[in-house]
Structure 1
Amino acid sequence: MFGLTFEKLLIIGVIAVFLLGPERLPHYAAKLGQLVRSLRDLANGAKDRMREEMGPDFDDVDWKKLDPRQYDPRRIIREALIDEDPFAQPERPTVARAAVNENSAYLQRKRKREALGAGEPAPFDAEAT
């Protein structure tokens, strides 16, 4: 529990006796007992509420699987990228062709180039440069 050993807890207790004094120590010990009891009741209440809301499926849940300490991002990504059936043939993607716009600027320039004769120079626009 948080790396606390018996010796450390004993030292904390001795320091508490000196700081609080023998008159106030029983009062604070009772308060600590009430706090621990209320936290235990809170945890049990949450557990009972989960059991009530989940119904009979509560006992079937593998809680160790949901433990955040089991989180390994490399394993999760590897499982997500691997196909379920390694022998399945991949489907060939289908490519949808877009409709050709006959009035596009590219096709208009191409038609003009084709309309030029073999010896004709390309049109020149002096204002464009």
Structure 2
Amino acid sequence: MFGLTMEKVLIIGIIAVFLLGPEKLPHYAAQLGRLVRQLRDMANGAKDRMRDEMGPEFDDVDWKKLDPRQYDPRRIIREALADDVPAAGAAAAAAAPTLTRASRSGAPVRRATVPLGVGEGAPFDSEAT
């Protein structure tokens, strides 16, 4: 929760005891409890309202699949490129030369691209990124 560990929460509590004093601390603790309860009720109300408006499809949604932390742009691009690779386009791309580093004479050296095998990942240099 917000990157707070038990030690940090304990330190915050000790500081609160010293700043608020023993007279006001129960009052503020009760207010904090009410605030947390209200937030929880609002979240549950929003979830219930969404369930009412979406109908039975709400229970069928796989929420873990829609988690933005699950998205890997490299995987998405790899899957998109692997889905529709036309055979003629792949053969033309394989025959087209690519430019690489210039030779000692200054002229670019041309090297034919080699298509990747099915399921083979692109070459990756961890020191280049």
TM-score for both structures, normalised by structure 2: 0.61
- Which aligned segments of 4 or more residues in structure 1 are displaced greater than 6 angstroms? none
1:40-69: CA deviations, max 9, x gaps?
Answer: 011101111111111111111110011111
CA shift at 1:6, angstroms? 2.1
In the alignment, structure 1 residue 59 sits paired with structure 2 residue 59: yes
Which range is displaced more, 57-66 or 75-84?
Answer: 75-84
Aligned-residue sequence identity (percent) comes to 82
What is the one-letter code of the residue matched to 1:33?
G
Matching residue of 1:70: 70
Instruction: Tell me which structure has the larger Cα radius of gyration.
Output: 1
Do structure 1's residue 16 and structure 2's residue 34 form an aligned pair? Answer: no
Whole-Å Cα distance in 2 between the matches of residues 89 and 14 of structure 1?
69
Higher relative contact order (CA 8 A, sep 6+): 2
Q: Which amino acid aligns with 1:82?
A: A
For 1:19, the aligned partner's letter is L
Equivalent AA in structure 2 for residue 48 of structure 1: D
CA RMSD across the alignment: 2.1
CA distance in 1 between partners of 2:63 and 2:49 (Å): 16
Distance (Å, rounded) in 2 between the aligned partners of 1:23 and 1:83: 67
Alpha-carbon spacing, 1:28–1:81, altered in 2? closer, same or farther (3 Å) = same
Residue of structure 2 equivalent to 1:31? 31
Using structure 1 for the length normalisation, give the TM-score.
Answer: 0.61
Deviations 1:11-49 (A, max 9, x none): 111110000111111111111111101110111011111
Indicate the SS of the match to 2:69.
helix
Q: How many residue pairs get matched?
A: 89
Between structures 1 and 2, the one with greater strand share? 2
Gap runs ≥5 in structure 2? 89-129
